[in-house]
């Protein structure tokens, strides 16, 4: 690698992708400046716990920092919080900051992620105690709104993972919780009916009301609280409303600068955009996955971290291709769901029930190819599923579902 002592690498976005990239870039041998900008004023923190343990705890975000504060000094990484980026100039290789100053760069990393999508519901902008769940500020606002002696009536709009995790956390705090999902089942866009049925039952068993085919059309003031109104005429009183219906990718800066946008910022196998000096990583990117032979935009910590590692290696001259198998997780009540792979295009699903309560796994196949595994309170299935997906070994579906067969690597192979 040529010397980088006099060069500057600027990172826009100091969450999982941007921060992990910065530390990896230093480890890969980058000698020049590394500067991270983020409009968030909170020191970079882990986001997944926000809808889970953080929401129900009394700890501040210092308890779950991505890296200790002193590490930024040790690795000579400059962190500029509360500073947004207005635009960047590709010809001059510079960015205009929200404070009016201009910062030049040799390499620019876009890790702008995404923001909550707020649906066009009448009255949503003036509703009392209505929040998304994406940042530490959102979690803090929800906790503040939740304080009080009387039982809080919570309406969660959206039955995806964020909505369900938040519902479980608030129920643990003693709330009366209703989840309103527009589709015919919760998690409809991300998993199979068997998983939707399981999590519906889990929440109902824990006192959360799950209602599907509920399209919210308005939120009206109702004394000191809100009235959530659906298109079928049903109404729900709410002291607190959490909106979790999806995200909107932050591509505006990239699009204005003329980078290729296709379901996100389009990047190559090294996370580089159509500008040789600009890379993009994390939730905001649309990239090719060699294993599944398709382009994807993924919202996951795994993708953010691994793509950041790939970009750091590529910038420092290493020949590298991003080919990670995606994985995800979700914690709800006493259930840990671990997911590996992508089930898109599956035409066969095999369920293996374990003897322990609330413990099973769903194996997604396209013909004879294992695409993904969802493991509920059963980490062995997640680990073994990852191995099989990577290796492409042929499996005997009947053996997977037979719990009399020991759960070992060689037990499920096709003869």
| Extents of the domains making up the chain | 8-113+250-315, 130-247, 334-401
pLDDT tens, position by position, 164-186: 999 999 999 899 999 999 999 99
Instruction: Give the model's pLDDT for residue 56.
Output: 76
> Where on the phi/psi map is residue 129: left (φ > 0), alpha (ψ -120 to 50), or beta?
left
Confidence category of residue 63, pLDDT binned at 50, 70, 90: low
Cα angle, residue 63 at apex, residues 43 and 20 outer, rounded to 5°: 50
Q: What is the spatial distance between Cα 193 and Cα 351, in angstroms, rounded to a whole number?
A: 12
pLDDT of residue 60: 55
CATH topology of domain 334-401: Enolase-like; domain 1 (3.30.390)
Where does the pLDDT of residue 147 fall: very low under 50, low under 70, confident under 90, or very high at 90 and above? confident
Average pLDDT on 346-364 reads: 95
What is the tens place of the pLDDT at every residue in 18-55?
999 999 999 999 999 999 999 999 999 999 888 887 78
Number of Cβ atoms within 10 Å of the Cβ of 135: 19
User: Has residue 2 got a pLDDT over 70?
Assistant: no
Q: Which residues are 247's β-sheet partners?
A: 116
| Residue 62 confidence (pLDDT) | 52
pLDDT at 58: 66
Q: How high is the pLDDT of residue 341?
A: 97
* pLDDT score, position 298: 95
Considering only CA atoms, which of 253, 286, 250, 249 is closest in space to residue 269?
A: 286
Average pLDDT across the chain, whole number = 94
The predicted model gives 44-67 an average pLDDT of 79
The pLDDT of residue 229 is above 60: yes
Q: Which fold has domain 8-113+250-315?
A: FAD/NAD(P)-binding domain (3.50.50)
CA dist 232 and 216 (Å) reads 9
Query: What is the Cα Rg of the chain in Å?
Result: 23
pLDDT confidence bin for 415, thresholds 50/70/90: confident
What integer pLDDT is reported at residue 112 of this predicted model? 98
pLDDT value at 405 more than 70:
yes
CA angle 339, 344, 347 (to 5 degrees): 105
Distance from C-alpha of 144 to C-alpha of 137, rounded to nearest angstrom: 10
Q: Is the pLDDT of residue 137 over 70?
A: yes
Mean pLDDT over 105-110 rounds to: 98
Please state the φ and ψ torsions of residue 320, each to the nearest 5 degrees: -150, 150
Q: In what order do the strands lie in the sheet with 225-230?
A: 216-222, 225-230, 235-238
Asked whether residue 220 carries a pLDDT value surpassing 60, the answer given is: yes
Which residues are CB-contacts of 155 (< 8 A; sequence separation ≥ 6)? 177, 178, 180, 226, 228, 236, 238, 240, 241, 242
Domain 130-247 superfamily per CATH? FAD/NAD(P)-binding domain (3.50.50.60)
Residue 59 confidence (pLDDT): 60
Give the position of tokens 């690795």. Answer: 75
Same fold: 8-113+250-315 with 130-247: yes
Strands 294-296 and 285-289: antiparallel
pLDDT greater than 60 at residue 85: yes
Strand positions, DSSP E, 205-245:
209-211, 216-222, 225-230, 235-238, 240-243
């Amino acid at each position: 690698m040529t010397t980088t002592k006099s060069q500057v690498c600027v990172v826009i976005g100091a969450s999982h992708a941007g921060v992990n990239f910065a530390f990896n870039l230093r480890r890969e041998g980058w000698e020049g400046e590394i500067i991270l900008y983020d409009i968030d004023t909170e020191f970079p923190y882990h986001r997944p716990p926000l809808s889970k343990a953080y929401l129900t705890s009394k700890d501040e975000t210092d308890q779950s920092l991505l890296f200790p504060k002193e590490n930024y000094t040790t690795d000579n990484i400059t962190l500029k919080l509360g500073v947004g980026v207005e635009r960047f100039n590709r010809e001059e290789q510079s960015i205009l900051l929200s404070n009016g100053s201009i910062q030049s760069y040799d390499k620019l990393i876009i890790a702008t992620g995404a923001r909550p999508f707020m649906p066009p519901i009448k009255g949503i902008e003036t509703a009392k105690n209505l929040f998304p769940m994406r940042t530490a500020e959102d979690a803090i606002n929800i906790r503040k709104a939740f304080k009080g002696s009387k039982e809080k009536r919570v309406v969660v709009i959206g039955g995806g993972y964020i909505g369900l995790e938040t519902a479980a956390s608030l129920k643990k705090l003693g709330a009366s919780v209703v989840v309103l999902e527009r589709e015919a089942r919760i998690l409809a866009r991300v998993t199979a009916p068997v998983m939707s049925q399981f999590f519906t039952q889990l929440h109902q068993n824990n006192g959360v009301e799950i209602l599907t085919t509920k399209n919210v059309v308005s939120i009206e003031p109702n004394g000191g609280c809100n009235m959530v109104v659906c298109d079928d005429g049903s109404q729900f009183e709410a002291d607190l409303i959490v909106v979790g219906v999806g995200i909107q990718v932050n591509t505006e800066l990239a699009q204005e600068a003329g980078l290729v946008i296709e379901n996100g910022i389009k990047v190559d196998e090294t996370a580089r955009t159509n500008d040789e000096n600009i890379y993009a990583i994390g939730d905001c990117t649309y990239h090719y996955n060699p294993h599944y032979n398709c382009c994807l935009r993924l919202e996951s910590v795994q993708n953010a971290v691994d793509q950041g590692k790939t970009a750091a290696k590529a910038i420092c001259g290493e020949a590298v291709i991003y080919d990670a198998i995606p994985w995800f997780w979700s914690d709800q009540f006493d259930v840990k769901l671990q997911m590996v792979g992508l089930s898109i295009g599956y035409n066969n699903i095999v369920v293996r029930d374990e003897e322990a309560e609330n413990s099973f796994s769903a194996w997604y196949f396209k013909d004879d190819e294992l695409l993904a595994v969802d493991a509920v309170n059963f980490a062995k299935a997640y680990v073994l599923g990852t191995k099989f997906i990577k290796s492409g070994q042929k499996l005997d579906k009947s053996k997977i579902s037979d719990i009399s067969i020991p759960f070992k690597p060689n037990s499920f192979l096709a003869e």
